[in-house]
Each structure stands twice: as structure tokens, then as C-alpha cells.
Structure 1
């Protein structure tokens, strides 16, 4: 640790933004200008007073952090790997299984730029597998049945990662953020993935501040531009009613699982259900007449995460609805076509012991994600020409939900009602589906022509 007595502490600077005021404590250590921002003036005064007191009693300041040695000692020296494991363990009990997996993937990508040496370094693929599936998994990290190569890789990582304090340096943090953007083969991740990982890293840095391992979160201060995310649905992926019905019919011809998935995909298209909601649909959720309009009460979601991430050991994690509190439900109208599909499904395949409608072929077991994906891909290949199949049109089962919501909006259903049925806020709904609204351009042009005095003929 390099120290100096060349310290000057300046007056607090005040920055008044549009929404908040920031009080900046400014000081110089060995000609290096430093600044710490606070939202509350009292906190800024307190921090500055600590610096002044340390300087007056002749205490040395650490050149790297800019802090007095006494304050620097309060920050534990912890390696990145040790810290990342602690962060995972802190989040684990309250996190959904899919969130656990996403956290592990983000921390694994960040770790690639934080090794202290290449000497004896295992293969990059082995490192990622060891970190993502074992090191950053609370339940599996200390599993005595770890494969020998995984255990050896984790031991190497534990000995050769930089301290968490190194992330306070821009020259260390920048490569970490850059590493979040690319795959092992050098291909870029989708902007949404990059931004999600950056948020996870920033949350981890906040935890480091809480643990007094860092003086402040270094991520927001770094001038690093994240790729822009596209939130709106690509209208090219949205199937029209004829295309959707043709695809559903094609699913029914895919052996062996196709026939038992027609109603499942029908729930996505006719009721705009998310796949994890349709998987959890049970007989008690149905309020159906013999024919005609009915209602579906959705109360549970079972997203696929992988059995190593769930508490139950099942591949799917049983959760509350997305963006809803535990116990909340939402009711969706069931059109006559979907009513008929559901009745037909129950007559042909029955239900599981717990009442679930959609199961795998093996004695009522959970519906595998791979079965869903394969049936959809085969149906799509059967219906579409190679040229159409190469486009995003109905590229994934989730696109059926997009088609449902787009159809409702274009059919004149009020946005408030559509948002309620789909489980969105109105703001998010219009943001996501803005490009899928048909007819608006024609209406707007007609209004402009009328304003200009053109006769409507």
C-alpha cells in the first residue's frame, strides 16, 4: 500500500440537478483529485470532518483509495471470488431459481477479467462451467461429489483472483464490463443480456460497499456505454390469426408429443399466457361452459431453471406470477376456440394427480422445456417455406403471446383491459407493443389531410 502526507481537503461542492442535489466532498491526495458525492449534506459534512481530523493528526493517506490509513484498514481484504460467493449466498434464500442462475452467469462473465495470472490457468470453458454451475451455486459449491477437474479449477480460481478492492480502479473495472458483452467465441450478447448483467454487477458493488470492502460503488462513475436495449416487440415476429391457427394445427401432427401440446400453445395464443403460466395451469383454474366464452384464473408460474437451481430439485421453480405478490391472481377471458381446445385436451389426456393439464408423456411428470421447443420448431418447419422460416415470424412459442396481445390491441380492446389480461402495466404494454399497432399511420395521415383542407373522397 502506497501512502503519502501530501493531502489537501477542499470545501464541499454543491451540484443542483433537475431532480436531486448532490453534496461533493473534494480532496487531493498526492496531486490526485478525489470526490465523494452525498445526497444529504450532513453525511457530506461528517465524511469531510473525518478526513480533516485524520489530516490534522498527521495520519498518512492511501494513494490508491485516497482514504486515511485508519479508514482504509476498516475495509477487509477479500478476493473477488470469495466476495462473489458471499454475494451469491446472501441473495440465494430469497431469489427465484432463474434469478440464481442469471446471477451466476453474470458473475462468471465478470470473473474472466479478474485473474492475477495465466500460469497454470485451466481451459476457459472449464473455468466458466466450474464457476457458473458449481462455484456460484450455493448448494453445489462444497458438494463432495464434484468432478475432480471442477474441484481443481475452483482451487486455482480461489488462489488467483484479484482483491475486490481492485475494482475501484477504472483500468480494472473497464475490462470487467467489456467482458459482460461477449461470448467465449467472441460473438456479442444481446443488449438486454448485457444490461441485465451490468445491473447485477452494480448490485454486487453496492453489497461490497455495505461490507466496507469498497468506499463506493465504482460502476456508475465509470464512463462506459452499455449497448442500447430494444424493448419493443419486433412486429415481424407477430403471427396473424391465420398463421397462428395453421401453426397450432401443425403442432397436432408432431409425434409423439404434439397432440398433447395443441391446447398448451392455444393458451399462449388465445389467452396471452406466458409459457411458465400455461405449464402450471390446473383444472381448478378453469371456469368453462360446455362451449363458448369462459374464464381462466392464473395463480402460479413454473419457469424452467434447471434442477441445480431450485430448492425442490425439480427443473421448474414454482413461483408467484411475474411482477405480482405471492397469492395474487389474474383473470383472463377464454375465447370459444380455446374452450373447445381445453375440453378436447382433458377428454383425451386427462389431468395429473394434482390437477395440472399439461404434463410430459411419462405418467404425469412435468412438461419438459425441450419437448415444447422441439414441437414448435418442427411445426414451424412444416408450415413455413425455408424463406419464411428464416425470418423472425413466430420464431419462439413466446411469440404467440405477443400475437395475442397485438391482436387484442388492434381489435380495439382498451389498453387498460389488455394490460390487465396480459399482466402488464399500461405503460409497459404500450412501450413493448407500440410497433405492433396497425392502422395508426393511415388514420394519422387522414387527419393531416383533413387539417390541410384536403377533401376526403
Structure 2
């Protein structure tokens, strides 16, 4: 039967070895109670009862719950909720974003596991979450190894309630877990920030589902690690160093195999045109304007980021998508200097294009993998740079060629708006990240200052 005769008492602390908190209420003179580990959880539960009574909901005199809570009697665990969140986010997320969501949900899930008998090893739990639970299609739609299935069953039983996150202490413990890597060392600030961002977004979804009135993380006072948005000036190469590195790439892997020679133009696009690696990998011959003399142009409209088969809808290692942070149909025109025009004309004359018109291809004709050009670049650094520079951050990653390009343009006096347009960034991002001095440029500045001072001696 249903009743509106409801009375709700306050939260009462129970004396025991492990303190707990009791919520008591009555429906039609029948007393009900629920016990919670913390006062915050008890307060949260009592608030839901009070709101239901205030809204005039009828309470069941058998369960003691209003209709809005009766359906949620079986508490939603974090793990079950995380699977719902993944199903909502996955179809609309980019492959790299999917990877980040997967990693973040796995971290939160591990932090919210109770100690139960039969706990699998940490490696097995992480493998089950990363490779099976938080990937679509999920484990219910695939043939799962017995060991993994048993691990996922244990996780489902050991997962704590989603409502536990209403306790600021529990939420803080989860946030603090982001700061530690698997080996016990401190995690990178960017990794912590990425995991927190997913965690916050997931709990916003919990609010949308009616599990919380507001995001419980708003009640947690937690110091976010500071993430540097500036490019380390030590990674930036000057034009002479850049040319030496590009020249060295052509020697990687020998002349006949041409492992390095077929990648010279790829790295040159990053340096002379400021392209992101994924933009350079996706270039086709039809995207280029290569006159015999003078400046040419590149029209960018696609990227081919290397993300892994697990995260793409096509099952291929490379995604095929539009430009970063732009509508899918958007394009970006980048003028390219005569040096790059000549290098790309030579590349086409020697290597031609892949079957689909791609400018750069692997030895087998496929999309150039990030691991392929990464290894070639490390070999080129060893050939082109002195030992001290090889050990330094100077051009340690291929992406540093883009940093060098944008810094070069700014130091050449090009208007920041024009640089931002060519780079595909906002002016604010450009000036906060890329306005760095070139390697060795300080000497030029020092001479000018010294010359000025000498005039007054």
C-alpha cells in the first residue's frame, strides 16, 4: 500500500568498532532505517527522502521508499554506471579521446574496489578493464577468455556504490589516486588533469541521470597539479640545425632501402609548413600546389593520427578524420616556401604516391606509422647532432619541428594572426605556447645589447 503519512528523523551516529551512521524514518507508523559508512552518505540519502516527501510522493509501506527511490533500491555501483557512461560517450568520441576515457575509467574503477576474497592480480584487473570492459563492443558481445570473465565478475561484485562518491573523503581518495603511476612514481600533471576531466564529466552524467542533485566533486577541495602550457625553448632548433637533421634523415636505413629518404619530405612538412605529424601523414598529391619556382601551397583537410585498432570504428591503426578542433568539412591553406616545394617535387619524382594518392607511405605502401617515423628521427638525431645535443631535449620529438617552425615565423616578424592561421591555432594559444626564442638566438640579442651599451662607454 501507499501512504503519505511519513516522518523522517535526523542522522544518528552508531557506536561500534567502525563508526556508522543511521537514517531512520517511518511510513504509516512503521519504522525503517538504513546504515551508511559516513555521515555524508547518510545525509545524502536523508536528503533524497526529504525531497520526495516535500514533493508529495507516496511512500510504499512495505519498502518504506518513495516511487522515485524504489526503483533504485538496488544501488548502482560505480562499475555499472561507468559502463553506461562509456556507452553514451563512445559513439561520438575521437579515437584518442576513447583511449583517454578508457584509461580514466579504469583508474577510477580500481580506486573504488572493495577488498573481497579471491581478488585477482593488479595486472589482471587492469588488463580486464582496459582491454575488455571499457571498450566497445563490450565483453557481452565478444568471446571472453575464462580468466578475464572471472575477473570482470569479481570487479562487478567488488565495485563500490556510485553514491559513495557523495562522501568528499571518498572522492578525494579517487582524485589522489590519479597522482600515482603503476610503478609508484608521481604521474605527469597532464595525465592527472586528463583523468580528472573524464571523472568530472562522468559525474555530470550521473547528475543528468538523477543519481546526484549536483556534481559531488564540487564539494571537494583538491589542488590540481599545474600543467605548463609553454613549449620548452630547449627543444627548438634553428634553421641550420633543422637542415642538418633533415639531411641526416636521408642516410637512415641506407640508400637502397630508403627507410629514411622516403621520410625526408614528411619531416620537412613539419618544419617548413608547421604541420602536425598527423596532418603531414595524411597529405595527398591533390592537396599540393608545387610551382617550378617560388612559393607553393598545401590545402589541409584531413589528418591520419596513429591511435591503435582498438579505438577506431574501422579497425585500422590510423584514424581518418578532419582537422584538429575544426568542423569536419573545414580546410586550412598553408603557403610553403621554395625549399619545401623543391623537396616535395623531388619526393614525388623518386617515390611517387600510394594507391590512394597519399604523398608518404611505408615500405609496403601503407600509412606511415608513428613508430616508424619516430625511430627514423632518433637515428637522424644521432647522426646530425653532437653527443651533448643528442642527450639534450633539442628536437627530441618529430613534433618539435612544428614548435621550431612557429617560433621561426614569429622571430621573423610575421604577424601572430597570420602565424596562427597557418598553424591552425588561436592567437591566444600561439602566443602562450610558441613565442619562444630560437636556439642560439640569444647570442644575437646579446650582441645587439652589447653594441648599444658600448656606444655609451
TM-score range, shorter chain: 0.7 to 0.9
- 2:419 alignment partner in structure 1: 418
Superposed CA deviations along residues 332-359 of structure 1, whole A, max 9, x for unmatched, are 1111111111111111111112110111
Contact 1:5 1:58 in 2 (8 A): no
CA distance in 2: counterparts of 1:55 and 1:328, whole angstroms: 50
Contact 1:273 1:422 in 2 (8 A): yes
Counting only pairs closer than 5 Å after superposition, residues 266-415 of structure 1 correspond to structure 2 as: 266-362=268-364, 364-415=365-416
CA distance in 2: counterparts of 1:214 and 1:337, whole angstroms: 59
Contact 2:304 2:318 in 1 (8 A): yes
1:6 aligns with 2:4: no
Secondary structure of residue in 1 paired with 2:310? coil
Contact 2:52 2:66 in 1 (8 A): no
The verdict on how the C-alpha distance between 1:376 and 1:57 changes in structure 2, with shifts beyond 3 A counting, is: closer
- 1:106 alignment partner in structure 2: 104
CA distance in 2: counterparts of 1:52 and 1:344, whole angstroms: 74
Secondary structure of residue in 2 paired with 1:173? helix
CA distance in 2: counterparts of 1:291 and 1:145, whole angstroms: 59
CA distance in 2: counterparts of 1:416 and 1:210, whole angstroms: 40
TM-score (norm 1): 0.82
Pick which of 251-260 and 116-125 moved more.
Answer: 116-125
Contact 1:75 1:212 in 2 (8 A): no
- 2:181 alignment partner in structure 1: 183
CA distance in 2: counterparts of 1:398 and 1:149, whole angstroms: 40
Runs of 5+ consecutive residues of structure 1 not aligned to the other structure: 8-31, 37-46, 61-67
Secondary structure of residue in 1 paired with 2:139? coil
Counting only pairs closer than 5 Å after superposition, residues 23-422 of structure 1 correspond to structure 2 as: 51=51, 54=54, 73=70, 77-255=75-253, 256=257, 257-362=259-364, 364-422=365-423
Contact 1:5 1:59 in 2 (8 A): no
CA distance in 1: counterparts of 2:126 and 2:327, whole angstroms: 34
Contact 2:58 2:67 in 1 (8 A): no
Contact 2:57 2:66 in 1 (8 A): no
CA distance in 1: counterparts of 2:289 and 2:261, whole angstroms: 23
The verdict on how the C-alpha distance between 1:296 and 1:54 changes in structure 2, with shifts beyond 3 A counting, is: same
Contact 2:286 2:357 in 1 (8 A): yes
The verdict on how the C-alpha distance between 1:287 and 1:164 changes in structure 2, with shifts beyond 3 A counting, is: same
Pick which of 414-423 and 434-443 moved more.
Answer: 434-443
| C-alpha deviation, 1:308, in angstroms | 1.1
Contact 1:292 1:336 in 2 (8 A): yes
| C-alpha deviation, 1:81, in angstroms | 1.1
Pick which of 152-161 and 397-406 moved more.
Answer: 152-161
CA distance in 2: counterparts of 1:455 and 1:244, whole angstroms: 35
| C-alpha deviation, 1:58, in angstroms | 12
The verdict on how the C-alpha distance between 1:456 and 1:349 changes in structure 2, with shifts beyond 3 A counting, is: same
CA distance in 1: counterparts of 2:80 and 2:318, whole angstroms: 29
| C-alpha deviation, 1:136, in angstroms | 0.5
The verdict on how the C-alpha distance between 1:56 and 1:341 changes in structure 2, with shifts beyond 3 A counting, is: closer
Superposed CA deviations along residues 370-401 of structure 1, whole A, max 9, x for unmatched, are 11111111111222333322221111110000
| C-alpha deviation, 1:311, in angstroms | 0.6
Runs of 5+ consecutive residues of structure 2 not aligned to the other structure: 1-6, 12-38
Superposed CA deviations along residues 199-237 of structure 1, whole A, max 9, x for unmatched, are 110000000111112222112320111110000000001
CA distance in 2: counterparts of 1:130 and 1:55, whole angstroms: 43
The verdict on how the C-alpha distance between 1:152 and 1:332 changes in structure 2, with shifts beyond 3 A counting, is: same
- 1:63 alignment partner in structure 2: none
Superposed CA deviations along residues 64-105 of structure 1, whole A, max 9, x for unmatched, are xxxx96765575721111111111110111111111111001
Superposed CA deviations along residues 389-433 of structure 1, whole A, max 9, x for unmatched, are 222111111000000000000010000000000000101110112
CA distance in 2: counterparts of 1:390 and 1:143, whole angstroms: 48
TM-score (norm 2): 0.82
Contact 2:303 2:322 in 1 (8 A): yes
| C-alpha deviation, 1:365, in angstroms | 1.2
The verdict on how the C-alpha distance between 1:140 and 1:384 changes in structure 2, with shifts beyond 3 A counting, is: farther
CA distance in 2: counterparts of 1:168 and 1:73, whole angstroms: 19
Instruction: Look at both structures and tell me which one has the larger radius of gyration over its CA atoms.
Output: 2
CA distance in 2: counterparts of 1:424 and 1:433, whole angstroms: 10
